[in-house]
Every structure is written in C-alpha cells, then in structure tokens.
A and B are shown apart, each in its own frame.
Chain A
Amino acid sequence: MPWDLLADLQLLLQFHFMQNALLAGTLVAVLAGAAGYFVVLRGQSFVAHMLSQVGFPGAAAAVLVHTSPVVGLIAFCGVAAGGIGWAGPRLGAGSRAESAAVGSILAFSLGLGLLFFRLYAGSAQGIYTFLFGTILGITDGDVQLTFVVAVLALAALAFIGRPLVFATIDPDVAEARGVPVRAIAIAFLLVLALSVAITVQIVGTLLIFSLLVAPAATATRVTARPPLALALSVGISLVVTWLGLAIAYFTNAPVGFAVTTLAFIPYLALRAAHAR
C-alpha cells in the first residue's frame, strides 16, 4: 500500500480531541522552545524541573475544586516562581542548603499532589495524565486559555529577550549599563512558570525536560548565535511535538514516550558527534 500523506493528515485531523491536541501542542511547542532557550542559556534547568513538580499538586487541587487543571498549574507555578525569584539570591545557587531545600519542597509537593488525588478519589489514569501528559483530555476551554497564556508569555519574552541575553552573558556589565538585572530575572521566572504550566498539558509534569530543555540544549550545541539558536530551538520543539502527537495517535504509544524519545535522539546524536 503506497503511503498517502494527505490521507494520513485527514485521518489525524478527523477527531475534535486531536485538533485540540495539535492546536495546544503547537502553542506549547513555540513557547517551550523559546523559553527553553533562555533556560539552557541561564543554566536554570532544575528550576524548570522544580516548577513542573510543584505544578502537580496545583493541577490536582484544581481538579478537586472542579476547575480546569491549567488554572491550578498557572497559580501554583506562578507562586513558586515568585518565591524563587524573591528568595533565590539569598540562597547560594548550587549550594548544599539550596539543593536540600529544593529536594525537600519537591518531595512535599508530590506528596501533596498524591493527597489531593486520593481526596478526589481519582483513578490511576487521572494521576498518569498529569504526570506523563495526554492527548485526549484537552478541552476547547484549555485551548483558548493556552492561546492567551502563550501570546502573553511570548510578548513578555520578546520584550525582555534582548536585555535578558545581555544580563545572562555578562550580568556585571549589564547592571553597570542600567539594565534592571534582578527585575528581569524575576520576570523571566514568571514567564517560565507560564511556559511550564501549559507544557505540562502535553508531556506531563515529569517529562517537562523533553520539551523545555532538550530542544534548546540541542540548538545551543549547533550554533552559539542567539537569534539562530532561538529559532532552531522553536523549530525542533515544533517538529518533536507534531511527530510525537502523530505517533501517539497512530500507534497507541503513550505521547510522553513518543515526545521524550524524539527530543532525546537529536541531542544524543549531537553529543556523540561532538565527543568524537
């Protein structure tokens, strides 16, 4: 049987849930690819990791009070990002006290998420949805909310992008030139919180690295020029999301597995090529 791309695309877009997943996925991929570039540049990948795990009880709490999980995710991630931005400079980055604090908060927030789920009497499938993502549960309301969030976050990122790169590469000179380094750092954390909150819908809280960090890590290995790396990161993120959703749709493999594997392969290939 010859491969008919058009027919496959029609099949892919046949169902409403799949249209929603692809729409939300596209928005998520653009924002995650763009925000992820700055995450890798600033070496804040574990902040992204922590924000996503804090999002888990947020999503569970939202389900418990019968609102959309995205609302809970945005609320919890936003508060956590504000807290890190506020308390961050006082804890030495990478210090023993900081990693112990982060680890303790991680464990507690996941325990809290488990509690909310038991209170809701949710099924195992419900927990997996938030931990590993889904392509089935994205409603029209979620797509609209994702659209608003993505546009706002991208606008904010475009606004702070240039001084953010400056402040990341040479904070002292940037500060001397009058760039508000601290305010920009906090603004970026809030954008990151929004990105994490909507990325979780597709790949889940545990697999956030696959969309937020892996494409950017691949892009920064290819080129050091910021605009090019940014564009490449968004491009990889989009391809990974689209292909991942399609594979999950046609083969019944979990979307989390498809997306992480697709994001992992180019990163691994580049590292291997680099090592030789």
Chain B
Amino acid sequence: MSDPFALEFMRNAFVAGTCIALAAGVVGYFLVLRNQVFTTDALGHTAFTGSLGALVAGVNLLAGVFGSCIAVALAIGGFAGRGRDRDVAIGTVFAWVLGLGVLFLSIYTSTRSAASGAVGVSVLFGSILGLQPSQVAVASIAALVTVAIALLIARPLLFLSVDPDVAAARGVPARALATVFLVLVAATVAESVQAVGALLVFALMVTPAAIAQNISARPWTGIAISAAVSVAAVWAALVLSFYVSLPVSFFVTALVFAGYLASEVAKRWHAA
C-alpha cells in the first residue's frame, strides 16, 4: 500500500486520466473564451442519457456516449437563436433528456441484478479506477486526436472567438469552424464522462480554463496553463484517493475549485 503505480488499475487510470485532462484543458480554454459553458452542461446531461440508453439497448457504452453527444452538438450548432429564449429552450429540452435518462436507468436496474444499480452513479460521477484496458486505449486515443485537431484549428478559432466580424471578413469559415469546435467539445465531454462523470465535466473543462484566463491574457500561454492545471488536478486527485478512501471525482472538483478561488484572490490582489 505504498506505491500507487504497482497496481494495474492505477496505471490505467493515470494513462487515461492524463490524456483526458489534456483534451479537457485545451478544448475547455476555447469553451470559456467563446462563452459556451452551458453547452457543456447540456452535453453532460446528454452523455448520461446516451450511456444508459446504450446499456439498455445492449450496445457499447462508449459508442452510446460519443454518438449521443456528437448528435446533440450538431443539433445545438443548428440553433440560430440567442439570449433568454434560447436558455429556456435548451434548459427545458435537457431536463427532458435527463428525465429520459432516469427512465433508462430504471429499466436497466429493474431488468438486471441489484448490483447494477450503481451504474448510473458511476456515469454521473465518474469511475476512473474501474476502467477496462480497452476503454483506456479508446479514451486515450480519442483524447489525443481531440487535442491534435483542437491545436490544428486553434489559430483561426482564436481569431473567430476574439473578433468574429473581422474573422468572417477575412474569409474564416465561421459556421464550419464553430460546428467542428462543438463536435470537439462533444468528444471531450464523452471522454471526460469516464473520469469525472457526466455531472462533473465542468471541473476539468471549465475551471482550469477559468484559472488560466485569470492568470494570463495571452492565448497560447492560457491554453498551456489550462492543460497543465487540468492534468495536475487529475494526477493529484488519483494519488490522494489512493491514500485517502474518498472518491477521485470529489478530489478533482475540490482541487480545481481551490485553484480557481486562489486565482481569483490573486487577480484582485494584483489589480489592487
């Protein structure tokens, strides 16, 4: 009980956790920059319903999560409206999507053994220590591909996010780029669900990016800080949960939130 790396599930968790955190940190930075935080919330809810739907239908869980998240991301991309009406619309639709997830959950738990009751909790709050080797491989590769694509479109995406009008005038394909980005967000949410759960994706995608924006106004530095904070939080949470018997997801949320509060205080103190 001294070396966390002696156990295979810990090594798996570190590999998958690192790749996922990298993707969440990088994609999350653009998410906060583009002020699309609530889209993540919506996609997190979808991931819950998607994964339970996959369990009920007996298909691969990851396929269900990725499929449902990407489909919904494309649907959101199609929404043209903005403002108050859009908030109400998205909120009402996602309350129902979640309600549907509850139905799947009850079907799944009543047709399987009693032990399967915990499956919903692991989808909601993550179960990084319970990953199968195949899941680790799929999640890691998907996460690294997400990072690569995000960095590839980073330059025009930054331009578009900071000054949409000038970017459009310069011939940046605004609509296509925004849609590609939403698909990236969906993929990242789907990957993160295993590590921190559908409800806590904010902790890896939004909070590190918020910290980065408090520390630096320069985009590339910000992306690097966001990714570094995200990875550091996952590592620290895994080590802590190895020695203290509490959920990994709790440590992830608590660590990044402490960092966020510290960065807020530092920003105020710096400005004063």
Contact = CB atoms under 8 A, between A and B. Distances in A.
Interface residues of B, number: 53
Given A128-B105, A261-B99, A104 B210 contact: yes
A210 to B, nearest CB: 5
Given A108-B254, A118-B247, A256-B99, A100 B92 contact: no
B136 interface: no
Task: Give the most central of B99, B124, B201, B253: most A CB within 10 Å.
Answer: B99
A207 B45 CA distance: 11
Interface stretch (B31-39, B59-67, B70-78, B216-224): B31-39
Interface stretch (A42-50, A146-154, A182-190, A222-230): A42-50
A94 B32 CA distance: 12
A260 B99 contact: yes
Interface string B142-158: 00000000000000000
B200 A207 contact: no
Contacts of A125: 117
Interface in B86-134: 87-89, 91-96, 98-100, 102-103, 105-106, 110, 117-118, 120-121, 124-125
Contacts of B26: none
A132 interface: yes
B96 A264 contact: yes
A206 B100 CA distance: 12
A100 B206 contact: yes
Contacts of B96: 210, 260-261, 263-264
A253 B106 contact: yes
Nearest to B104: A257
B203 A45 contact: no
A254 B91 contact: no
Given A115-B246, A261-B96, A264-B96, A107 B35 contact: no
B91 A46 contact: yes
A131 B34 CA distance: 29
A46 B95 contact: no
A127 B122 CA distance: 11
Nearest to B88: A217
Contacts of A271: 89
Contacts of A254: 99, 102-103, 105-106
Contact of A107 (B83, B102, B200): B200
A207 B95 contact: yes
A111 interface: yes
A103 B40 contact: yes
Contacts of A101: 210
B206 A267 contact: no
B184 interface: no
A124 interface: yes
Given A45-B87, A131-B124, A254-B102, A96 B250 contact: no
8 contacts: A94-B35, A96-B35, A101-B210, A110-B199, A110-B253, A206-B199, A207-B99, A254-B99
Query: 4 tightest A-B contacts by CB?
Result: A111-B253, A260-B99, A209-B95, A107-B202
